[in-house]
Amino acid sequence: MLNLRSPSTYEREAGYKKSAINEDFIVPTNAEQQEIDFDNPNILKGSKYKLKDIGGEQGLYPPLRYFQELEKSGWGELKDKRMGHVHFFKKDKTVISVVVKEDFIEVYEMKKDAKF
């Protein structure tokens, strides 16, 4: 049987859940986790979360409400490290990068000695 279920859409009020890579880092509740391959030596682990319209048209509009929730939970954005679609958040000694695209985000925990 063909699955015609439409992908979940980003909704600010939907809430948040623990991410698969770090239990202190949240992702939108209705985001569908997917495995991801990466070969960056600065990354410890990562996961992709599919969610329609999370980044707006062409990923040009970061999900500000989500970023505000990250800040509320103790993750400060390293705005001076931002590179286009890539945002970095830090809590204690842990740094997480969030790559924002139109219909998904990629979440990576950086190695402690990562250079970025």
What integer pLDDT is reported at residue 7 of this predicted model?
A: 53
What is the residue extent of each domain of the chain? 18-110
Q: What are phi and psi of 65, to 5 degrees?
A: -60, -40
How far apart, in Å, are the Cα atoms of 74 and each of 40, 45, 68, 88, 89? 26, 20, 10, 13, 9
Spatial neighbors of 1 by CB under 8 A, at least 6 apart, are none
pLDDT, mean of each 10-residue run, the chain (116 residues): 53 84 96 94 97 90 94 98 96 98 97 88
pTM: 0.87
Cβ 92 vs Cβ 73: under 8 Å: no
What integer pLDDT is reported at residue 1 of this predicted model?
A: 45
